Structure 1
Amino acid sequence: MSEQQLSALRERLTATAEPVTIARIAEAVRASGLALGSSTTSDLVRMLRDELVGLGPLQPLVDEAGITDVLVDGQRNVWTDGALGLQRAGVQFSSEEQVRGLARRLITLSGGRLDEGQPCADGRIGDCRIHAVIPPIAVEGTMISVRIARRSTATVEELASQWSPAEVWLTLLRGVVAARLNFLVSGSTGSGKTSLLAAMLSECPKDERIIVVEDTTELQPDHPHVLHLQQRKGNVEGVGHLGMGQLVRETLRMRPDRLIVGECRGAELKDFLNAMNTGHQGAAGTVHANSAESVPARLIGMGALAGLSPESVSLQASAALDAVIHVERRQNRRLPVGVSLVDRVGASLQMVPALSIPSTRGPEMEVPVAGPGWDRLRRRIGLH
């Protein structure tokens, strides 16, 4: 097929306001009158899909099993992250204009805007969360980050294949869910917080109603009754913004059995703590933190954004939260490495270690160590 014929197909598909779908692309290829074999037709449909409604040259990488992130750096190189760690992909863009054009198309397709007036933007296309930055903010060149949220959520058993000893963590995590403790999953970026939380929510009884609030929808637990609320950004004039805090308040009128905040990162913490302190048990969320011990400082910082004093955050958090489960990425394995109880000593919020795995050289040396909070946690979740 010549470039002229390919261009004509593109124009035909984008000439109207009708959504470009796989069915429309296939129909346009069939109606083109071109003599194509079945495999060539299939390849052409796939290429047009990737270019018009997919992620272009990045789509084949997104479709690969085990890939969690696809990254384009300022030198037009493409990297992937996943089960094998960060690796250079066999894809490279030919020019800065090509990368910037793809970034703008993806953000526009997701309903956002990326230009000199707004050089940083994010959005969502299907199961992918897109983030893009263009110069002069991106010094070396346009950068694109794609985070893939797989709908086929792994179960706790599947995740536990990377843990050691798996049976200890499986029993503990299931106990936390069954006892309806309020908990946070803490960890750094890419440590597996969302995957673990989704797997734990899949363990909830099937007659429970789970309502998830997120800035960008990622949590996809395998559960028959999950509802998602996603925050909305304002337009160019700032009109129409609907933030996380308001969405948390809205959930309280929607009869949630479990209220989940996908990621606590700002002033919505105030509403989340208020909800947990007014009788909502089994609530959960994630928080970025380098360790469980650094979670109190993170919560106090978020509380300050909502006008709460450190003493108020400590008082409310110690009454609302029961536990923090910390996860880390060790040797390309994502695993829980500690569970702490949330307590208050005087005016300070503190983490009381219940079970932890010290940093070691390999899985064969990963031995859980009981801490001062272990007996209390064990009684809370019914372990003997």
Structure 2
Amino acid sequence: MDDQDFRRAVRELQQQVNNALDESGVTGAEATLQYGKAVITNVVRTYADNLALLGRPAPTLDEEEQLKKAVENRIFYLGDLQPLVDDPEVENIDVNRYDQVWVTYTDGRKVTGPPAADSEEELIENVRRWGIYQGQNARDFSTARPILHKALSNTVRLAAATGITPHTAFSIRKHGMLDATMSDLAARGTMSWPVRHFLHAVMNVPMNVIVAGAMNSGKSTLVRALAGDIDPFERLITVENERELFLHLMPERHHDVLSFEARAANSEGEGAVTMRQLIDDAFRFNGRRILVGEVRSDELVPMLVAMNSGGRGSICTMHADSAEEIFPRMEILAGSMPADALFRLVGKAVDFIVYLRHEVSHDPDAPMNVRYISEIFEVLPPADSVVPAVNRVFVPGPDGRAVPNVTPQCMDKLVKAGFDATMFIPRAGGLWN
């Protein structure tokens, strides 16, 4: 089969399998996948037999296997983009149009990729299928619901749009360091070893932490690594819009985890479960700590209340383009809550803010893609202003990475949790003792 015949066959077979899935009534990701594989095998075999009966060239056994894999990829995985998803060096895939694809690699390189589909219509149908059949909760993608956010697997997150962009578009973000520990990150240069030991003590006290940074700065990776310093027998509750932490899939590291994922309303506007609701309910499931993937909206205040009401050692992430934007960002997310009340709560609930910086360049001659902790603030109740007082415990050094600046007020607690205070002696030039 030449390439044109192969792609035509894949489209025809894909439509047959789609119809069979729609009519089957099978539910559940694993059951749907197994049923779909069986249907794919049958339709490919029937397709080859029909060609042979008509006296036309039929696919070889190898070509039949290729057809089955291509159809399976298009329905249950990411079609022609699946090889890129499987490539450990690929970090992001951005599709601006069905035939306009950009691929970003972990070293900062950015190159064009293969078409994501053969047409706009096919691309819309593919994304619709992914929304239904991939991940845990089916999510609609249509003109009525033109935006889709979904974790497709343990390592892949999808954001898609149609009708509100010139062409149907989507972005894929890959999580390539699911098992990274704090020591792994220190070895990669994300933090110095003293910072690594400092944060280990923060987790052991335990103290509440907000991890902040710009988009794609490695916030989820750092939260997973921080969680690795928690006693494996502690009961953890994770709450996310789309699953990215996956602590419940690491039983050797975390023995007792309950993972919640928010759910969008169905096409009738029913059945939504919000982040705010999940955070409100989390401690009713006997969680010792709550880990929230990202605070984006009105769930901020319930998260702060949870931190201040028994959830010591809890962690959440927040988007901020600079460390200075964190408190103004909180004020926006808190909505109508008075600023003075909000920041009093922040001052009591949050112990530390860890800020991640991301330096990236797609220059073909000098690509760069580096993430590191640049600042750590100790958060204190408001003093001379409405916003919380802060101790800038770590500040950017000559290379931007965090170096010591002032001793935190809670140093005694950190020492009791195992931190060696002699590692934290700030000197001129930001050198460690």
Give the distance between the partners of 1:194 and 1:350, measured in 2 at CA.
Answer: 26
Q: Does residue 175 in structure 1 map to residue 201 in structure 2?
A: yes
TM-score (norm. length: structure 2): 0.78
* Match in the other structure for 1:43: 66
Q: Does residue 159 in structure 1 map to residue 185 in structure 2?
A: yes
Task: Give CA deviations for 1:78-103 in whole Å, capped at 9, x if unaligned.
Answer: 12234122512431355433433333
Give the distance between the partners of 2:265 and 2:14, measured in 1 at CA.
Answer: 35
Task: Give CA deviations for 1:219-254 in whole Å, capped at 9, x if unaligned.
Answer: 123423222111111223422221111111111111
* Match in the other structure for 2:241: 215
Give the distance between the partners of 2:344 and 2:119, measured in 1 at CA.
Answer: 54
Give the distance between the partners of 1:317 and 1:204, measured in 2 at CA.
Answer: 23
Contact 1:165–1:366 under 8 Å retained in 2 = no
Q: Which amino acid aligns with 1:104?
A: R
Q: How much identity, in percent, do the aligned residues show?
A: 24
* Match in the other structure for 2:291: 260
Contact 1:25–1:49 under 8 Å retained in 2 = no
Q: Which amino acid aligns with 1:126?
A: S
Cα distance, 1:264 vs. partner? 0.9
What SS does the aligned partner of 1:267 have? coil
1:324 to 353, 359, 363: 353
* Match in the other structure for 1:134: 162
Task: Give CA deviations for 1:7-47 in whole Å, capped at 9, x if unaligned.
Answer: 35762574251424375267537855778777545533321
Flag the 1:61–1:309 CA change in 2: closer, same or farther, 3 A.
same
Q: Does residue 199 in structure 1 map to residue 222 in structure 2?
A: no
Cα distance, 1:113 vs. partner? 2.4
Trace 1:1-384 onto structure 2 (pairs within 5 A): 7-8=12-13, 11=16, 14-15=19-20, 16-17=23-24, 18=26, 19-21=32-34, 23-24=37-38, 27-28=41-42, 32=46, 40=63, 42-74=65-97, 76-85=99-108, 87-93=110-116, 94-110=118-134, 111-127=138-154, 128-135=156-163, 137-139=164-166, 141-150=167-176, 152-163=178-189, 166-221=192-247, 222=250, 223-304=254-335, 307-330=336-359, 331-343=368-380, 344-346=382-384, 347-358=386-397, 365=399, 368-372=402-406, 374-382=407-415, 383=419, 384=421
What SS does the aligned partner of 1:332 have? strand
Contact 1:13–1:20 under 8 Å retained in 2 = no
Cα distance, 1:329 vs. partner? 1.1
Q: CA RMSD in A?
A: 2.7
Structure 2: runs of 5 or more not aligned:
27-31, 50-57, 360-367, 422-433
Give the distance between the partners of 1:26 and 1:241, measured in 2 at CA.
Answer: 33
Give the distance between the partners of 2:153 and 2:401, measured in 1 at CA.
Answer: 40
**Larger Rg over CA atoms:** 2
Q: Which amino acid aligns with 2:379?
A: V
Task: Give CA deviations for 1:255-288 in whole Å, capped at 9, x if unaligned.
Answer: 1111111111111111111111112211110000
Contact 1:13–1:28 under 8 Å retained in 2 = no
Contact 2:236–2:289 under 8 Å retained in 1 = yes
Contact 2:146–2:162 under 8 Å retained in 1 = yes
Contact 2:260–2:278 under 8 Å retained in 1 = yes
Contact 2:190–2:373 under 8 Å retained in 1 = no
What SS does the aligned partner of 2:113 have? strand
Cα distance, 1:118 vs. partner? 2.7
